[in-house]
Amino acid sequence: MGPPGRWMAGISERELSGIMRESVAVKRSTEPARKSSADDVVRSFVKSVDNGKRFDKPYRYWLIRDCLPSDTVDDVITLPFEAPSLDGISGKRELHNHTRKYFDVDNRKQFPVCEAAAQAFQDKRVTSHIEKVFGTNLKGTYLRIEFAQDIDGFWLEPHTDLGVKAFTLLLYLSKDPSHHELGTDIYDGDKRHFGRSPFASNAAMIFVPSNNTYHGFEKRPIKGVRTSLIINYVTNEWRAREQLSFPEAPIL
């Protein structure tokens, strides 16, 4: 026998050390990965805004990247909501109100990623930064986050969002390489096509609605599902309270 501790049940210290390392590695690999919290979403979004790029024609808008933590993007994309059929009708999202999905009170309770995202965009650190950078007033508005799933045949006529929306964030999510041409179409004040925002997963287009912020989606082929989040802050006049993340809690 060797010195005390040299052997254990016929196993050398080197062998025992290797077994222990493998055991730790197996334990770590089987532990569920930590999910990004609302704080993580706040930090990610604020940083993306600070690194964004502003454009002034045909109206003022911003393009930002890396909006959310990568695991948050993945968890949103894999939410168990089936892309609804268009039934041959498109042009306005309101035509399919009965099939639209939101990060509403029920979905916040059921899906942690909906709760984390909603809490982040309700957070004062985010709303104050939005007001400062984009020059809008969110006081008294309500958070509305729509989970949009657009399929082939989808299109949107040019519209401004002016009225009860104080802020619009169009956050692209799907990762299909063929979706790079599926960005938001941008129009001038006469509704003439001006350009198109780039579509990339976890990138976004932002604008403050006014009488000339025409945007839409020209009909073109969509392979699979074009997934995005439409994040708005809406005024108290918004009638569909069931769509809101916090219907009883306006932005302060």
The pLDDT of residue 31 is: 66
Q: Is 68 inside any structural domain?
A: yes
Q: What string of DSSP letters covers 16-31?
A: HHHHHHHHHHHHHHHS
Residues 175 and 90 in one domain: yes
Q: What string of DSSP letters covers 40-107?
A: HHHHHHHHHHHT-EEE-SSS-EEEE---S-HHHHHHHHT-S-PPPP-TT--B-GGGGGGG-EE--HHH
Q: Is the peptide bond before 58 cis (omega within 30 degrees of 0)?
A: yes
Q: Is 250 inside any structural domain?
A: no
Residues 26 and 74 in one domain: no
Residue 193 predicted with pLDDT over 60: yes
The pLDDT of residue 86 is: 87
Q: Is 59 inside any structural domain?
A: yes
Q: Is 46 inside any structural domain?
A: yes
Closest-CA residue to 45 (of 121, 116, 103): 121
Question: Higher confidence at residue 53 or residue 18?
Answer: 53
Residues 166 and 236 in one domain: yes
The mean-pLDDT minimum among 52-61, 95-104, 223-232 falls in 95-104
The pLDDT of residue 6 is: 41
The pLDDT of residue 99 is: 78
Residues 58 and 150 in one domain: yes
Q: Is 50 inside any structural domain?
A: yes
Residues 4 and 104 in one domain: no
Residues 159 and 176 in one domain: yes
CATH number at residue 216: 2.60.120.620
Residue 165 predicted with pLDDT over 80: yes
Average pLDDT score, the chain:
91
The pLDDT of residue 92 is: 81
Residue 27 predicted with pLDDT over 90: no
Question: Higher confidence at residue 6 or residue 145?
Answer: 145
Distance in Å from the first CA to the final CA of the chain: 74
Distance CA 46, CA 42 (A): 6
User: Averaged over 181-195, what is the pLDDT?
Assistant: 98
Distance CA 86, CA 148 (A): 13
Q: Is 86 inside any structural domain?
A: yes
Residues 94 and 191 in one domain: yes
Contact 166, 138 (CB under 8 A): yes
Q: Is 251 inside any structural domain?
A: no
Residues 55 and 149 in one domain: yes
The pLDDT of residue 97 is: 72
The pLDDT of residue 2 is: 46
Residues 106 and 155 in one domain: yes
Residues 175 and 190 in one domain: yes
Residue 1 predicted with pLDDT over 70: no
Domain extent at residue 207: 38-243
205-241 residue pLDDT tens: 999 999 999 999 999 999 999 999 999 999 999 999 9
Q: Is 236 inside any structural domain?
A: yes
Residues 22 and 146 in one domain: no
Residues 13 and 68 in one domain: no
Q: Tell me how many domains the chain contains.
A: 2
Instruction: Tell me the pTM.
Output: 0.86
